[in-house]
Chain A
Amino acid sequence: MIHINIEKKLKAAQGDMLLNVDIKIKKGQLVTLYGESGAGKTSTLKILSGLLKADKGNITVGNKSWFNSDTKINSAPQKRNIGYVFQDYALFPHMTVLQNLEYALVKNQSKDIISEVLEIMELGSLKDRKPETLSGGQKQRVALARALVQKPEILLLDEPLSALDIKIRLKLQDYLLKVHKKYNLTTILISHDIGEIHKLSDWVFVLKNGVIEKMGTPTEIFINKKLSGKFKFKGEVLKIEKEEIVYVVSVLIFNDVVKIIAQESEVKNLNPGDNVIVASKAFNPIIYKIE
């Protein structure tokens, strides 16, 4: 269990803001911090990792206290064993992929983990390349692999996939789920992508102006409960085509592209990239077992 209960005055673009969060995260969960930019998401991760010091409050992880303003405990970021994937990846430009991973080794740690993460993230063929020669998705995989080298208990991901195109993003989401389960991580993700949040996370904290506004499962947070449809899926509009008298809207739902027939009035306000709910009521679904 991670319990963060902190206060910190932040200097934001629009003036001072008080970050005041109290969140509890169960071990092994993958949770998302969601909110507008400047809401305090990155600062929360930095405070948890010790890179930023809270003004008051406490942070407890398991039965260890990492920060407590009353007893003046503040363990250094070096001591917290956190895997952190930064928004700009923070790969060391003067080192090759392999050197980047090796640098992350803890003293006396066996090198076995290096070949293991290289294999999981499918980086073997890139290991002698310098970061500047890698594509965004490749850099992302290196950053994730590097964060896993020190075998952290907690993995922090600061909008790791926001700069990537949709196909690579989907692939990396699978990598993330894989390593989250394989290494029993407790993962905190910052994301703006509702589809991604649905796919990856167990729990969502909505942060607004420095305070937690809402929390719940992704479905509770993002899907309008008033809808009475029996089947409903969150998706992203990829394409809108006109065919004869109707429109065909291609919607990406998780990994599948679904084509939906729509009237002109329905597509009027739709644009590719919009997040939508595809729902259906009063129909008779077929169910059958796979394999």
Chain B
Amino acid sequence: MTWEPLLLTFKLALVTTILLFVVAIPLAYWLAFSKSRIKPVIETLVSMPLVLPPTVLGFYFLIAFSPNNSFGNWLDSFLGIKLVFSFTGLVIASIIYSLPFMVHPIQSGFSSISSTLKDASYVMGKSKFNTLINILLPNIKPSLLTGIILAFAHTVGEFGVVLMIGGSIPGSTKVASIAIYDEVEALNYGAANFYSLVLFGVTFSILLLVYLINGGYLKRFWK
């Protein structure tokens, strides 16, 4: 029983959430405002991790990232990146796996903003980027917070994908959910209980915080 798997879990969740935030904003913006014909296809792809068994995702990552394959081989020889059984690989897989949890709240935030705010900013000569940063994002703070927290919590709860492409390398890919599974297999219920309790407590607190903030209970602290 060590803190290492727990720390690794939160490190993975943190890195994933930060990168996901950067990726999700342009994607959500496009999904909310584009009238492109391929939009339904992209929307479907973004939502796929909601319904697909994580093992399916993990399986294809395993195939794609494997050095025996052209893509994995190219990554390895040109960029020197090994994505299978590595922390970097876990981050990339987690970004895809948690994508809808970040994109959907932000997308619905963008859609719910009155379009005249955007129009007003444009006729004042402000660029689309300027409008996004100064007008749109500050007005969807609750959606941003929901996206960040859900993506973080969902990454903490990841199991199938990590099991498939992470293996169980201590300090590198052995996150808490995997550690619990390992301990139970070894009939080490005490350790499994320890990891489980911490995960339970942390995720409960995080979600509670979101509902408190977005429900306006803590409004005086969030302004």
Contact = CB atoms under 8 A, between A and B. Distances in A.
Given A88-B114, A90-B114, A92-B135, A150 B124 contact: yes
A86 B120 contact: yes
B123 interface: yes
Contacts of B122: 50-51, 76-78
Contacts of B120: 84, 86, 90, 92
A77 B123 contact: yes
A254 interface: no
A82 B117 contact: no
A283 to B, nearest CB: 50
A261 to B, nearest CB: 47
For the residues of A in contact with B, the DSSP-based class is: loop
B148 to A, nearest CB: 18
A184 B125 CA distance: 20
Interface in B86-139: 114, 116-117, 119-127, 134-135, 138-139
A103 interface: yes
A255 B121 CA distance: 35
A106 B123 CA distance: 11
Which of B117, B122, B134 has its CB near the most chain A CB atoms (within 10 A)?
Answer: B122
B119 A84 contact: yes
B135 to A, nearest CB: 6
Interface of A: 46, 49-51, 76-84, 86-88, 90, 92-94, 103-104, 106, 149-150
Interface of B: 114, 116-117, 119-127, 134-135, 138-139
List 10 A-B pairs, minimum CB-CB distance, nearest first: A90-B116, A90-B120, A77-B122, A86-B116, A94-B138, A84-B123, A78-B125, A104-B124, A51-B119, A77-B123
